[in-house]
Structure 1
Amino acid sequence: MIFKIYYQETKIRNPKREQTHSLYLEAADEVVARELVEKNTPYNIEYIQVLEGNHLEYEKENADFKLTEF
């Protein structure tokens, strides 16, 4: 499954919507996706969204879609 992970670059500062970033990750489920990001980055995860069907196709066509690999 493909997940879109919304995150802040650090856990130290308070989250600000304007500083939210995202990355795309392929993982078996949401738990595995969260573990991969927490293990390999200092990011503060805000939200993990499953991408499938039309939503996935839209993201591939209209965003900076690049799968992150750890």
Structure 2
Amino acid sequence: MIFKVLYQERQDEVPVRERTKSIYVEAESVREVRKKLSNRNYNIEYIQELDEAHLNYEKETGKLEVENV
């Protein structure tokens, strides 16, 4: 499964939409995504499992680059 992770780059940073970044991670569960990203100092706001329609949309826009974690 592919998950979209919305995050702030610093753990102590207050979430502000204009500074929110996203990455795509392949994993079996949300827990596994968190485990894979635990060594990074990210303030994770939201983890979303992408369904087929959303995945296709992300591919079409050219934004989909799966992070190798």
Normalising by structure 1, what TM-score?
A: 0.90
Q: Tell me the CA shift for residue 58 of structure 1.
A: 0.5
Q: Percent of aligned positions with the same letter in both sequences?
A: 43
Runs of 4+ residues deviating >6 angstroms: none
- Root-mean-square deviation (CA, aligned residues, Å) is 1.0
- Correspondence for 1:22: 22
- Structure 2: give runs of 5+ residues left out of the alignment: none
Residue 10 (1) aligns with residue 10 (2): yes
How do 1:1-70 and structure 2 match up within 5 A?
1-39=1-39, 41-70=40-69
Q: Does the Cα contact within 8 Å between 2:13 and 2:43 map onto a contact in 1?
A: no
Q: What TM-score do you get using the length of structure 2 for normalisation?
A: 0.91
Alpha-carbon distance between aligned partners in 2 of 1:14 and 1:48, rounded to the nearest angstrom = 17
Q: What is the total number of aligned residue pairs between the two structures?
A: 69
